[in-house]
Structure 1
Protein backbone atom coordinates (compact mmCIF):
# COMPACT_ATOMS: atom_id res chain seq x y z
CA UNK A 1 0.00 0.00 0.00
CA UNK A 2 1.31 3.47 -0.89
CA UNK A 3 1.91 6.08 1.80
CA UNK A 4 -0.96 8.20 0.48
CA UNK A 5 -3.30 5.23 0.88
CA UNK A 6 -2.29 4.98 4.54
CA UNK A 7 -3.11 8.64 5.04
CA UNK A 8 -6.45 8.45 3.24
CA UNK A 9 -7.30 5.32 5.23
CA UNK A 10 -6.83 7.30 8.45
CA UNK A 11 -9.90 9.35 7.53
CA UNK A 12 -12.06 6.47 6.31
CA UNK A 13 -15.00 5.88 8.63
CA UNK A 14 -14.82 9.35 10.16
CA UNK A 15 -18.10 11.24 9.93
CA UNK A 16 -16.47 14.58 9.18
CA UNK A 17 -13.26 16.46 9.86
CA UNK A 18 -11.87 19.98 10.12
CA UNK A 19 -8.33 20.53 8.80
CA UNK A 20 -6.21 23.38 10.20
CA UNK A 21 -4.54 24.50 6.98
CA UNK A 22 -1.69 27.01 7.04
CA UNK A 23 -0.46 27.32 3.47
CA UNK A 24 2.35 24.80 3.81
CA UNK A 25 2.74 21.43 2.13
CA UNK A 26 2.15 19.42 5.35
CA UNK A 27 -1.39 20.58 6.07
CA UNK A 28 -2.11 20.69 2.33
CA UNK A 29 -1.45 16.96 2.05
CA UNK A 30 -3.66 16.32 5.08
CA UNK A 31 -6.44 18.35 3.44
CA UNK A 32 -5.97 16.39 0.21
CA UNK A 33 -6.29 13.03 1.97
CA UNK A 34 -9.26 14.20 4.03
CA UNK A 35 -11.10 15.36 0.91
CA UNK A 36 -10.31 12.13 -0.93
CA UNK A 37 -11.78 10.11 1.93
CA UNK A 38 -14.69 12.30 2.99
CA UNK A 39 -15.48 14.66 0.13
CA UNK A 40 -17.73 17.52 1.26
CA UNK A 41 -17.55 16.25 4.85
CA UNK A 42 -13.98 17.59 5.04
CA UNK A 43 -13.48 21.31 5.68
CA UNK A 44 -10.25 23.32 5.74
CA UNK A 45 -9.79 26.33 8.02
CA UNK A 46 -7.06 28.95 7.71
CA UNK A 47 -6.53 31.58 10.39
CA UNK A 48 -5.59 35.05 9.21
CA UNK A 49 -4.22 36.16 12.57
CA UNK A 50 -2.11 39.10 11.35
CA UNK A 51 1.24 37.32 11.79
CA UNK A 52 0.55 35.11 8.77
CA UNK A 53 2.01 36.66 5.64
CA UNK A 54 -0.36 37.60 2.83
CA UNK A 55 1.62 35.27 0.56
CA UNK A 56 0.88 32.28 2.81
CA UNK A 57 -2.82 33.19 2.93
CA UNK A 58 -3.05 33.35 -0.86
CA UNK A 59 -1.26 30.01 -1.17
CA UNK A 60 -3.72 28.46 1.28
CA UNK A 61 -6.61 29.71 -0.87
CA UNK A 62 -4.99 28.37 -4.03
CA UNK A 63 -4.28 24.89 -2.67
CA UNK A 64 -7.84 24.51 -1.38
CA UNK A 65 -9.12 25.37 -4.85
CA UNK A 66 -6.80 22.74 -6.30
CA UNK A 67 -8.02 20.09 -3.90
CA UNK A 68 -11.67 21.12 -4.11
CA UNK A 69 -12.11 21.26 -0.34
CA UNK A 70 -14.35 23.90 1.24
CA UNK A 71 -12.22 26.62 2.75
CA UNK A 72 -13.11 28.80 5.74
CA UNK A 73 -10.91 31.78 6.59
CA UNK A 74 -11.17 33.17 10.09
CA UNK A 75 -9.74 36.52 11.14
CA UNK A 76 -8.46 37.69 14.49
CA UNK A 77 -5.49 39.69 15.74
CA UNK A 78 -2.81 37.94 17.78
CA UNK A 79 -1.36 41.34 18.62
CA UNK A 80 -4.31 41.86 20.95
CA UNK A 81 -3.05 38.94 23.06
CA UNK A 82 -0.52 40.30 25.61
CA UNK A 83 0.90 36.81 26.25
CA UNK A 84 1.77 36.53 22.57
CA UNK A 85 3.07 40.08 22.16
CA UNK A 86 5.58 39.83 25.00
CA UNK A 87 7.28 37.14 22.91
CA UNK A 88 8.78 34.80 25.50
CA UNK A 89 9.82 31.21 24.79
CA UNK A 90 6.16 30.14 25.03
CA UNK A 91 4.98 32.49 22.28
CA UNK A 92 4.01 29.59 20.03
CA UNK A 93 2.11 27.95 22.88
CA UNK A 94 0.00 31.09 23.35
CA UNK A 95 -0.46 31.38 19.57
CA UNK A 96 -1.68 27.82 19.15
CA UNK A 97 -3.85 27.94 22.27
CA UNK A 98 -5.70 30.91 20.78
CA UNK A 99 -5.88 29.17 17.41
CA UNK A 100 -7.32 26.05 19.03
CA UNK A 101 -10.04 28.14 20.71
CA UNK A 102 -11.10 29.48 17.31
CA UNK A 103 -10.93 26.03 15.68
CA UNK A 104 -13.13 24.62 18.42
CA UNK A 105 -15.65 27.41 17.81
CA UNK A 106 -15.77 26.58 14.10
CA UNK A 107 -16.01 22.84 14.74
CA UNK A 108 -18.95 23.38 17.07
CA UNK A 109 -20.68 25.63 14.56
CA UNK A 110 -20.08 23.10 11.76
CA UNK A 111 -20.96 20.16 14.02
CA UNK A 112 -17.56 18.57 13.41
CA UNK A 113 -16.00 16.41 16.13
CA UNK A 114 -12.50 15.87 14.75
CA UNK A 115 -9.87 18.58 14.20
CA UNK A 116 -6.55 17.69 12.54
CA UNK A 117 -3.32 19.50 11.72
CA UNK A 118 -0.17 19.02 9.63
CA UNK A 119 2.26 18.00 12.37
CA UNK A 120 4.66 15.29 11.13
CA UNK A 121 7.30 13.06 12.72
CA UNK A 122 10.15 15.50 12.10
CA UNK A 123 8.29 18.22 13.99
CA UNK A 124 8.37 16.08 17.13
CA UNK A 125 12.16 16.24 17.22
CA UNK A 126 12.19 20.07 17.59
CA UNK A 127 11.15 22.50 20.31
CA UNK A 128 7.53 23.07 19.33
CA UNK A 129 5.39 24.36 22.25
CA UNK A 130 2.65 25.10 19.71
CA UNK A 131 2.19 21.37 19.14
CA UNK A 132 1.69 20.86 22.87
CA UNK A 133 -1.03 23.52 22.89
CA UNK A 134 -2.90 21.91 20.00
CA UNK A 135 -2.70 18.44 21.54
CA UNK A 136 -4.03 19.78 24.85
CA UNK A 137 -7.06 20.95 22.91
CA UNK A 138 -7.65 17.60 21.23
CA UNK A 139 -6.22 18.37 17.79
CA UNK A 140 -5.06 15.16 16.10
CA UNK A 141 -2.11 14.62 13.72
CA UNK A 142 -2.78 12.07 10.95
CA UNK A 143 0.72 12.51 9.50
CA UNK A 144 2.29 11.47 12.80
CA UNK A 145 -0.04 8.51 13.22
CA UNK A 146 0.61 7.47 9.60
CA UNK A 147 4.36 7.84 10.19
CA UNK A 148 5.08 10.60 7.67
CA UNK A 149 8.40 12.46 7.73
CA UNK A 150 8.88 15.76 5.92
CA UNK A 151 10.60 13.92 3.10
CA UNK A 152 7.64 11.53 2.79
CA UNK A 153 5.25 14.47 2.64
CA UNK A 154 7.08 16.21 -0.20
CA UNK A 155 7.44 12.96 -2.16
CA UNK A 156 3.75 12.05 -1.82
CA UNK A 157 2.58 15.61 -2.46
CA UNK A 158 4.49 15.55 -5.73
CA UNK A 159 3.02 12.16 -6.63
CA UNK A 160 -0.55 13.39 -6.16
CA UNK A 161 0.12 16.61 -8.05
CA UNK A 162 -0.05 19.28 -5.35
CA UNK A 163 1.51 22.44 -6.79
CA UNK A 164 3.20 23.33 -3.48
CA UNK A 165 5.02 19.99 -3.10
CA UNK A 166 8.40 21.76 -3.24
CA UNK A 167 7.37 24.97 -1.49
CA UNK A 168 10.01 26.04 1.05
CA UNK A 169 8.96 25.74 4.68
CA UNK A 170 7.73 28.92 6.29
CA UNK A 171 6.60 30.13 9.69
CA UNK A 172 4.73 33.10 11.10
CA UNK A 173 6.35 36.50 10.75
CA UNK A 174 6.80 36.76 14.53
CA UNK A 175 9.43 34.01 14.33
CA UNK A 176 11.79 36.60 12.82
CA UNK A 177 11.81 38.55 16.10
CA UNK A 178 14.03 37.20 18.93
CA UNK A 179 12.37 35.96 22.11
CA UNK A 180 12.20 38.71 24.69
CA UNK A 181 11.63 41.43 22.09
CA UNK A 182 8.09 42.77 21.85
CA UNK A 183 6.16 41.88 18.70
CA UNK A 184 4.55 44.90 17.02
CA UNK A 185 2.52 45.45 13.85
CA UNK A 186 5.23 47.78 12.54
CA UNK A 187 7.96 45.16 12.90
CA UNK A 188 5.84 42.49 11.23
CA UNK A 189 4.96 44.78 8.32
CA UNK A 190 8.56 45.72 7.54
CA UNK A 191 9.71 42.12 7.83
CA UNK A 192 7.05 41.00 5.35
CA UNK A 193 7.82 43.84 2.91
CA UNK A 194 11.55 43.12 3.16
CA UNK A 195 11.15 39.44 2.37
CA UNK A 196 8.88 40.17 -0.59
CA UNK A 197 11.44 42.61 -2.00
CA UNK A 198 14.31 40.13 -1.62
CA UNK A 199 12.36 37.42 -3.42
CA UNK A 200 11.42 39.76 -6.25
CA UNK A 201 14.82 41.44 -6.54
CA UNK A 202 17.04 38.36 -6.40
CA UNK A 203 14.71 35.51 -7.42
CA UNK A 204 15.25 33.80 -4.08
CA UNK A 205 12.71 31.22 -2.91
CA UNK A 206 13.44 30.93 0.83
CA UNK A 207 14.30 33.95 2.93
CA UNK A 208 14.07 35.16 6.51
CA UNK A 209 14.67 38.76 7.51
CA UNK A 210 15.50 38.66 11.22
CA UNK A 211 14.81 41.90 13.10
CA UNK A 212 17.73 42.18 15.50
CA UNK A 213 17.20 45.41 17.44
CA UNK A 214 16.21 47.27 14.25
CA UNK A 215 19.03 45.68 12.25
CA UNK A 216 18.12 43.34 9.40
CA UNK A 217 19.87 39.97 9.25
CA UNK A 218 19.08 38.21 5.97
CA UNK A 219 19.05 34.42 5.86
CA UNK A 220 18.63 32.45 2.65
CA UNK A 221 19.37 28.86 1.70
CA UNK A 222 23.11 28.30 1.41
CA UNK A 223 22.73 27.39 -2.25
CA UNK A 224 21.13 30.79 -2.89
CA UNK A 225 23.59 33.01 -0.99
CA UNK A 226 25.56 33.67 -4.18
CA UNK A 227 22.46 35.37 -5.62
CA UNK A 228 22.97 38.13 -3.03
CA UNK A 229 26.38 39.06 -4.42
CA UNK A 230 24.95 41.49 -6.97
CA UNK A 231 26.23 44.81 -5.58
CA UNK A 232 23.82 46.95 -7.56
CA UNK A 233 20.80 45.03 -6.32
CA UNK A 234 22.16 45.00 -2.77
CA UNK A 235 22.43 48.77 -2.96
CA UNK A 236 18.76 48.96 -3.94
CA UNK A 237 17.87 46.59 -1.11
CA UNK A 238 19.89 48.52 1.49
CA UNK A 239 18.12 51.73 0.56
CA UNK A 240 14.70 50.05 0.64
CA UNK A 241 15.26 48.44 4.05
CA UNK A 242 16.59 51.71 5.41
CA UNK A 243 13.38 53.44 4.36
CA UNK A 244 11.44 50.73 6.19
CA UNK A 245 13.29 51.61 9.40
CA UNK A 246 16.18 49.14 9.50
CA UNK A 247 19.44 50.73 10.65
CA UNK A 248 21.67 48.23 8.84
CA UNK A 249 21.55 45.19 6.58
CA UNK A 250 23.71 42.07 6.88
CA UNK A 251 23.72 38.69 5.16
CA UNK A 252 24.08 35.70 7.48
CA UNK A 253 26.94 33.65 5.97
CA UNK A 254 25.66 30.49 7.65
CA UNK A 255 22.39 30.62 5.73
CA UNK A 256 18.88 29.80 6.84
CA UNK A 257 18.31 27.39 9.70
CA UNK A 258 14.92 26.88 11.44
CA UNK A 259 14.72 27.99 15.06
CA UNK A 260 17.82 30.18 14.89
CA UNK A 261 16.20 32.89 17.02
CA UNK A 262 15.05 30.59 19.83
CA UNK A 263 16.96 32.59 22.40
CA UNK A 264 16.07 35.25 24.93
CA UNK A 265 17.69 38.60 24.26
CA UNK A 266 19.18 40.75 27.03
Structure 2
Protein backbone atom coordinates (compact mmCIF):
# COMPACT_ATOMS: atom_id res chain seq x y z
CA UNK A 1 0.00 0.00 0.00
CA UNK A 2 1.41 3.41 -0.95
CA UNK A 3 1.39 6.47 1.27
CA UNK A 4 -1.37 7.89 -0.90
CA UNK A 5 -3.52 4.78 -0.42
CA UNK A 6 -2.98 5.10 3.33
CA UNK A 7 -3.97 8.76 3.19
CA UNK A 8 -7.17 7.98 1.29
CA UNK A 9 -7.95 5.10 3.67
CA UNK A 10 -7.38 7.41 6.66
CA UNK A 11 -10.76 8.94 5.81
CA UNK A 12 -12.46 5.56 5.57
CA UNK A 13 -14.13 5.52 8.98
CA UNK A 14 -15.09 9.22 8.94
CA UNK A 15 -18.64 10.26 8.12
CA UNK A 16 -18.09 13.94 7.30
CA UNK A 17 -14.85 15.93 7.23
CA UNK A 18 -13.89 19.58 6.86
CA UNK A 19 -10.47 20.41 5.39
CA UNK A 20 -8.76 23.72 6.19
CA UNK A 21 -7.53 24.46 2.68
CA UNK A 22 -5.09 27.19 1.67
CA UNK A 23 -3.64 27.60 -1.81
CA UNK A 24 -0.78 25.19 -1.09
CA UNK A 25 0.05 21.64 -2.13
CA UNK A 26 -0.25 20.06 1.35
CA UNK A 27 -3.89 20.88 2.06
CA UNK A 28 -4.68 20.27 -1.63
CA UNK A 29 -3.50 16.66 -1.33
CA UNK A 30 -5.49 16.18 1.88
CA UNK A 31 -8.60 17.56 0.18
CA UNK A 32 -8.02 15.26 -2.80
CA UNK A 33 -7.70 12.18 -0.59
CA UNK A 34 -10.76 13.11 1.48
CA UNK A 35 -12.84 13.64 -1.65
CA UNK A 36 -11.71 10.30 -3.11
CA UNK A 37 -13.02 8.49 -0.04
CA UNK A 38 -15.94 10.64 1.08
CA UNK A 39 -17.17 12.50 -2.00
CA UNK A 40 -19.69 15.17 -1.03
CA UNK A 41 -19.12 14.44 2.67
CA UNK A 42 -15.75 16.20 2.35
CA UNK A 43 -15.88 20.00 2.48
CA UNK A 44 -12.95 22.37 1.89
CA UNK A 45 -12.87 25.58 3.91
CA UNK A 46 -10.66 28.51 2.95
CA UNK A 47 -10.22 31.45 5.31
CA UNK A 48 -10.41 34.62 3.24
CA UNK A 49 -8.60 36.70 5.80
CA UNK A 50 -6.73 39.90 5.17
CA UNK A 51 -3.24 38.39 5.23
CA UNK A 52 -3.96 35.94 2.41
CA UNK A 53 -2.98 37.22 -1.02
CA UNK A 54 -5.50 37.23 -3.87
CA UNK A 55 -3.12 34.93 -5.75
CA UNK A 56 -3.34 32.30 -2.99
CA UNK A 57 -7.11 32.70 -2.82
CA UNK A 58 -7.46 32.11 -6.55
CA UNK A 59 -5.17 29.07 -6.36
CA UNK A 60 -7.41 27.59 -3.66
CA UNK A 61 -10.43 28.04 -5.95
CA UNK A 62 -8.58 26.39 -8.84
CA UNK A 63 -7.54 23.43 -6.67
CA UNK A 64 -11.08 22.81 -5.43
CA UNK A 65 -12.34 23.02 -8.99
CA UNK A 66 -9.75 20.42 -10.10
CA UNK A 67 -10.69 18.06 -7.28
CA UNK A 68 -14.43 18.64 -7.57
CA UNK A 69 -14.78 19.34 -3.86
CA UNK A 70 -17.21 21.86 -2.37
CA UNK A 71 -15.46 24.99 -1.07
CA UNK A 72 -16.73 27.32 1.64
CA UNK A 73 -15.10 30.66 2.43
CA UNK A 74 -14.65 32.04 5.92
CA UNK A 75 -14.53 35.83 5.71
CA UNK A 76 -13.21 37.70 8.72
CA UNK A 77 -10.63 40.36 9.54
CA UNK A 78 -7.79 39.32 11.83
CA UNK A 79 -6.62 42.96 11.80
CA UNK A 80 -9.35 43.55 14.38
CA UNK A 81 -7.47 41.22 16.75
CA UNK A 82 -4.98 43.26 18.81
CA UNK A 83 -3.10 40.11 19.84
CA UNK A 84 -2.42 39.52 16.16
CA UNK A 85 -1.65 43.04 14.96
CA UNK A 86 0.88 43.79 17.72
CA UNK A 87 2.97 41.12 15.94
CA UNK A 88 4.99 39.48 18.68
CA UNK A 89 6.53 36.00 18.46
CA UNK A 90 3.08 34.47 19.11
CA UNK A 91 1.41 36.13 16.09
CA UNK A 92 0.84 32.80 14.32
CA UNK A 93 -0.57 31.28 17.51
CA UNK A 94 -3.15 34.08 17.86
CA UNK A 95 -4.02 33.86 14.16
CA UNK A 96 -4.58 30.10 14.31
CA UNK A 97 -6.56 30.31 17.56
CA UNK A 98 -8.95 32.70 15.83
CA UNK A 99 -9.08 30.39 12.79
CA UNK A 100 -9.79 27.45 15.10
CA UNK A 101 -12.72 29.37 16.60
CA UNK A 102 -14.22 30.04 13.18
CA UNK A 103 -13.62 26.50 11.90
CA UNK A 104 -15.25 24.83 14.90
CA UNK A 105 -18.28 27.12 14.66
CA UNK A 106 -18.63 26.32 10.97
CA UNK A 107 -18.20 22.60 11.65
CA UNK A 108 -21.14 22.72 14.08
CA UNK A 109 -23.31 24.41 11.46
CA UNK A 110 -22.51 21.65 8.95
CA UNK A 111 -22.68 18.79 11.44
CA UNK A 112 -19.00 17.95 10.92
CA UNK A 113 -17.18 16.02 13.64
CA UNK A 114 -13.62 16.12 12.30
CA UNK A 115 -11.55 19.05 10.99
CA UNK A 116 -8.19 18.37 9.32
CA UNK A 117 -5.32 20.49 8.03
CA UNK A 118 -2.30 20.14 5.73
CA UNK A 119 0.50 19.95 8.30
CA UNK A 120 3.20 17.52 7.13
CA UNK A 121 6.13 15.87 8.95
CA UNK A 122 8.64 18.52 7.87
CA UNK A 123 6.52 21.26 9.45
CA UNK A 124 7.00 19.71 12.87
CA UNK A 125 10.71 20.56 12.80
CA UNK A 126 10.13 24.31 12.40
CA UNK A 127 9.01 26.95 14.89
CA UNK A 128 5.28 26.75 14.20
CA UNK A 129 3.18 28.06 17.10
CA UNK A 130 0.16 27.97 14.79
CA UNK A 131 0.29 24.17 14.73
CA UNK A 132 0.03 24.11 18.52
CA UNK A 133 -2.98 26.43 18.39
CA UNK A 134 -4.89 24.19 15.97
CA UNK A 135 -4.07 21.13 18.09
CA UNK A 136 -5.93 22.78 20.97
CA UNK A 137 -9.07 22.63 18.84
CA UNK A 138 -8.57 18.95 18.11
CA UNK A 139 -7.77 19.63 14.47
CA UNK A 140 -5.97 16.60 13.04
CA UNK A 141 -3.17 16.30 10.50
CA UNK A 142 -3.63 13.25 8.23
CA UNK A 143 -0.31 13.88 6.43
CA UNK A 144 1.57 13.57 9.72
CA UNK A 145 -0.45 10.53 10.80
CA UNK A 146 0.29 8.72 7.52
CA UNK A 147 3.98 9.69 7.32
CA UNK A 148 4.09 12.34 4.59
CA UNK A 149 7.15 14.56 4.24
CA UNK A 150 6.99 17.58 1.91
CA UNK A 151 8.74 15.70 -0.90
CA UNK A 152 6.29 12.80 -0.61
CA UNK A 153 3.40 15.28 -0.71
CA UNK A 154 4.74 16.78 -3.95
CA UNK A 155 5.31 13.34 -5.52
CA UNK A 156 1.78 12.20 -4.65
CA UNK A 157 0.21 15.46 -5.83
CA UNK A 158 2.06 15.15 -9.15
CA UNK A 159 0.97 11.53 -9.57
CA UNK A 160 -2.72 12.46 -9.27
CA UNK A 161 -2.41 15.52 -11.51
CA UNK A 162 -2.81 18.38 -9.02
CA UNK A 163 -1.53 21.56 -10.68
CA UNK A 164 0.00 22.84 -7.42
CA UNK A 165 2.39 19.87 -7.09
CA UNK A 166 5.44 22.10 -7.68
CA UNK A 167 4.05 25.34 -6.24
CA UNK A 168 6.61 27.05 -3.98
CA UNK A 169 5.73 27.11 -0.30
CA UNK A 170 4.12 30.33 0.80
CA UNK A 171 3.10 31.95 4.05
CA UNK A 172 0.74 34.74 5.00
CA UNK A 173 1.63 38.31 4.08
CA UNK A 174 2.12 39.23 7.76
CA UNK A 175 5.21 37.00 7.82
CA UNK A 176 6.94 39.68 5.71
CA UNK A 177 6.78 42.10 8.67
CA UNK A 178 9.37 41.61 11.46
CA UNK A 179 8.08 40.75 14.92
CA UNK A 180 7.55 43.89 16.94
CA UNK A 181 6.47 46.01 13.95
CA UNK A 182 2.68 46.38 13.84
CA UNK A 183 0.68 44.59 11.14
CA UNK A 184 -1.51 47.09 9.26
CA UNK A 185 -3.73 46.94 6.18
CA UNK A 186 -1.46 49.49 4.46
CA UNK A 187 1.65 47.31 4.92
CA UNK A 188 -0.14 44.15 3.76
CA UNK A 189 -1.39 45.91 0.62
CA UNK A 190 2.01 47.24 -0.42
CA UNK A 191 3.66 43.88 0.31
CA UNK A 192 1.13 42.06 -1.89
CA UNK A 193 1.43 44.62 -4.71
CA UNK A 194 5.22 44.62 -4.31
CA UNK A 195 5.51 40.87 -4.73
CA UNK A 196 3.20 40.94 -7.75
CA UNK A 197 5.38 43.62 -9.37
CA UNK A 198 8.60 41.67 -8.76
CA UNK A 199 7.06 38.44 -10.07
CA UNK A 200 5.76 40.15 -13.21
CA UNK A 201 9.07 41.81 -14.04
CA UNK A 202 11.31 38.81 -13.25
CA UNK A 203 8.97 35.86 -14.04
CA UNK A 204 10.10 34.30 -10.74
CA UNK A 205 7.59 32.17 -8.80
CA UNK A 206 9.02 32.54 -5.30
CA UNK A 207 9.44 36.11 -4.10
CA UNK A 208 9.32 37.75 -0.70
CA UNK A 209 9.10 41.50 -0.22
CA UNK A 210 9.93 42.13 3.42
CA UNK A 211 8.56 45.39 4.85
CA UNK A 212 11.16 46.72 7.27
CA UNK A 213 9.57 49.87 8.68
CA UNK A 214 8.66 51.02 5.18
CA UNK A 215 11.82 49.81 3.45
CA UNK A 216 11.50 46.93 0.99
CA UNK A 217 13.98 44.06 1.13
CA UNK A 218 13.44 41.64 -1.75
CA UNK A 219 14.31 37.99 -1.23
CA UNK A 220 14.55 35.43 -4.05
CA UNK A 221 16.48 32.18 -4.38
CA UNK A 222 20.18 33.02 -4.19
CA UNK A 223 20.97 31.66 -7.66
CA UNK A 224 18.29 33.95 -9.13
CA UNK A 225 19.68 37.23 -7.77
CA UNK A 226 21.63 37.77 -11.01
CA UNK A 227 18.27 38.35 -12.79
CA UNK A 228 18.17 41.77 -11.14
CA UNK A 229 20.32 43.67 -13.61
CA UNK A 230 20.46 47.45 -13.48
CA UNK A 231 17.46 47.93 -15.78
CA UNK A 232 15.13 45.50 -13.98
CA UNK A 233 16.13 46.71 -10.52
CA UNK A 234 15.49 50.33 -11.58
CA UNK A 235 11.98 49.43 -12.83
CA UNK A 236 11.18 47.47 -9.67
CA UNK A 237 12.56 50.17 -7.41
CA UNK A 238 10.52 52.92 -9.11
CA UNK A 239 7.30 50.91 -8.93
CA UNK A 240 7.79 49.88 -5.30
CA UNK A 241 8.41 53.48 -4.29
CA UNK A 242 5.19 54.47 -6.06
CA UNK A 243 3.20 52.11 -3.82
CA UNK A 244 4.73 53.48 -0.62
CA UNK A 245 8.14 51.92 0.04
CA UNK A 246 10.85 54.44 0.97
CA UNK A 247 13.86 52.40 -0.15
CA UNK A 248 14.34 49.15 -2.05
CA UNK A 249 17.16 46.60 -1.85
CA UNK A 250 17.86 42.99 -2.85
CA UNK A 251 18.87 40.70 0.01
CA UNK A 252 22.29 39.32 -1.07
CA UNK A 253 21.83 36.24 1.13
CA UNK A 254 18.76 35.14 -0.82
CA UNK A 255 15.47 33.71 0.36
CA UNK A 256 15.28 31.78 3.61
CA UNK A 257 11.98 30.98 5.42
CA UNK A 258 11.45 32.74 8.74
CA UNK A 259 14.44 35.01 8.25
CA UNK A 260 12.89 38.05 9.93
CA UNK A 261 11.34 36.24 12.88
CA UNK A 262 13.20 38.49 15.26
CA UNK A 263 11.90 41.29 17.43
CA UNK A 264 12.47 44.54 15.60
CA UNK A 265 12.19 48.08 16.94
**TM-score by structure 1 length?**
0.98
Q: Distance in 1 between matches of 2:38 and 2:78?
A: 32
Alpha-carbon contact 1:120-1:149 (below 8 Å) kept? yes
Q: Distance in 1 between matches of 2:66 and 2:246?
A: 42
Q: Distance in 1 between matches of 2:105 and 2:227?
A: 45
Counterpart secondary structure, 1:241: helix
Q: CA deviation at 1:233?
A: 1.9
Q: Distance in 1 between matches of 2:32 and 2:222?
A: 31
Over 6 Å off, 4+ runs: none
Q: Determine the structure 1 residue equivalent to 2:242.
A: 243
Q: Determine the structure 1 residue equivalent to 2:107.
A: 107
Q: Distance in 2 between matches of 1:222 and 1:203?
A: 15
Q: Determine the structure 1 residue equivalent to 2:54.
A: 54
Q: CA deviation at 1:108?
A: 0.3
Q: CA deviation at 1:244?
A: 1.4
Q: Determine the structure 2 residue equivalent to 1:122.
A: 122
Q: CA deviation at 1:48?
A: 0.6
Deviations 1:208-233 (A, max 9, x none): 0001111100001123222222x212
Counterpart secondary structure, 1:12: coil
Counterpart secondary structure, 2:228: helix
Q: Which runs of 5+ in 1 are unaligned?
A: none
Q: Distance in 2 between matches of 1:46 and 1:223?
A: 34
Deviations 1:177-196 (A, max 9, x none): 00000000000000000000
Q: Distance in 2 between matches of 1:144 and 1:66?
A: 24
Deviations 1:66-94 (A, max 9, x none): 00000001100010000000000000000
Q: Distance in 2 between matches of 1:246 and 1:186?
A: 11
Q: Determine the structure 1 residue equivalent to 2:70.
A: 70
Q: CA deviation at 1:13?
A: 1.4
Counterpart secondary structure, 1:209: strand
Q: Determine the structure 2 residue equivalent to 1:233.
A: 232
Counterpart secondary structure, 1:256: coil
Q: CA deviation at 1:235?
A: 1.0
Q: CA deviation at 1:9?
A: 0.9
Q: Distance in 2 between matches of 1:21 and 1:224?
A: 30
Counterpart secondary structure, 2:13: coil
Correspondences of 1:1-266 after superposition (within 5 Å): 1-229=1-229, 231-266=230-265
Q: Distance in 1 between matches of 2:242 and 2:197?
A: 13
Tell me how large the CA RMSD over aligned residues is. Answer: 0.7
Q: Distance in 2 between matches of 1:254 and 1:238?
A: 19
Alpha-carbon contact 1:119-1:144 (below 8 Å) kept? yes
Aligned residues: 265
Q: Distance in 2 between matches of 1:232 and 1:222?
A: 19
Alpha-carbon contact 1:204-1:227 (below 8 Å) kept? no
Q: Distance in 2 between matches of 1:37 and 1:259?
A: 36
